[in-house]
Amino acid sequence: MDTTGSFLMPPAQSTYAGDVDALFNFILIAGLIIFVIVIATTVFFSMKYRRKGMATKTSGTDHNLGLEILWTAIPTALIVIVFIWTFRSYIKMSVVPGDAIEIKVTAQKWFWTFDYAEGANSVNELVIPVNQPIKLLMSSQDVIHSFFIPNFRAKMDVLPNRYSITWFEATSTGTYDLFCTEYCGKGHSEMLGSVRVVSEEEYKKWIDEGSDPGKGLTLEEFGRKLYVKKACNTCHTTDGSKGVGPTFKGVFGREEIMEDGTPITVEENYIRESILEPKAHIVAGFQPVMPTYQGLLKDREIDAIIAYLKTMKAE
């Protein structure tokens, strides 16, 4: 039996996914057999013993020791098999190999940040090398989130008060979905990311660039890149439509009314403040949900974002 992947599951791309699928398939087949027997018997009895006219006395059989032992013993045996099986695969999923690369994962409403030991970081895109165990050390800035990569069969809640850990080893290169699976409010279904599994060399290159991400780009181009990479786009649009936050179209130089009624014209210092201390001034008509980027953006990156925002003129 091909145990990697099941016709119900997405392609299996991690070292332990095959185990999970094999067990899934076993339960599926055993379950289907039991189900078919039970339902076929029910249907057969309802036809064979169909009542004709008024009911009369029927047989009084109400037990059959052999049968009862059988239908207790078989499910019990199956369950013992399933338990031993799940025990072994769960241990494999829980014990992190000693040589795993550690990456810090931070979840917050509603995006993921990945910090690498080498200093690189990324938002909503986890880049990892193929055939190497990866350990994720995860924590949340606000409510509980959950980190889920279907192709890896990996899932772990991300908590605000303690670290949680998960690990996996990708078996083939490619890009896979990353979902948040613990309900976390308005942006829960947009808290999506991706996992890019790359070759060893490509990973090295990415890490090097990661330490100096703006290399070779103009300030505006770099800002445009950051707008996506740092997930500003989950809340701010560039086409003039209202998102969770105000649109960036024509933002520079625009006069905004704050919650307390004071008007503010958007200029460099205000943008910087909005990014580092978003709660300082709240634009009227919006919730104070923008996270602070303190520590996540370097000065040059903030400059780049400001330069990019300036390019976005209203018609």
Q: Which residues bind Cu ion (CB under 5 A)?
A: 145, 180, 184, 188, 191
Residues forming a β-bridge with 129: 198
The entry of ligand HEC, other proteins, Cu ion, none that residue 205 binds, CB within 5 to 8 Å by partner kind:
none
Cα separation, 242 vs 248, whole angstroms: 9
Among 20, 305, 307, 312, binds ligand HEC (CB under 6 A): 305
The two structure tokens encoding residue 243: 């998102």
Instruction: Pick out residues in 234-293 that bind other proteins (CB under 8 A).
Output: 287
**Per CB under 6 A, which region of 3-11, 162-170, 175-183, 281-289 contacts ligand HEC?**
281-289
The entry of ligand HEC, other proteins, Cu ion, none that residue 125 binds, CB within 5 to 8 Å by partner kind:
none
**Per CB under 8 A, which region of 41-49, 217-225, 229-237, 262-270 contacts other proteins?**
41-49
Closer CB to other proteins, 190 or 303, in the complex? 190
Residue 202's φ and ψ, nearest 5 degrees, are -60, -40
The two structure tokens encoding residue 250: 């024509």
Q: Strand, coil or helix: what is 14? A: strand
Residue 61's φ and ψ, nearest 5 degrees, are -55, 125
Residue pair 15/168 in contact by the 8 Å Cβ criterion: yes
Cα separation, 125 vs 130, whole angstroms: 15
Contacts of 110 (CB under 8 A, 6+ apart): 180, 184, 185, 186, 187, 188, 190, 191, 234
Binders of other proteins: how many residues, by CB under 8 A? Answer: 86
Smallest gap from residue 35 Cβ to ligand HEC (A): 45
Residue pair 236/223 in contact by the 8 Å Cβ criterion: no
Using CB under 6 A as the binding rule, whether residue 234 contacts ligand HEC is answered as yes
Residue pair 138/158 in contact by the 8 Å Cβ criterion: yes
Using CB under 6 A as the binding rule, whether residue 274 contacts ligand HEC is answered as yes
Smallest gap from residue 184 Cβ to Cu ion (A): 3
Closer CB to other proteins, 208 or 259, in the complex? 259
Using CB under 6 A as the binding rule, whether residue 193 contacts ligand HEC is answered as no
- Structure-derived torsion over alpha carbons of residues 115, 282, 237, 183, reported in degrees to the nearest 10: 60
Using CB under 6 A as the binding rule, whether residue 283 contacts ligand HEC is answered as yes
Among 27, 28, 137, 282, binds ligand HEC (CB under 6 A): 282
Binding residues (CB under 6 A) for ligand HEC: these are 109-110, 230-232, 234-236, 244-246, 251, 256, 266, 271, 274-275, 278, 281-283, 286-291, 293, 305
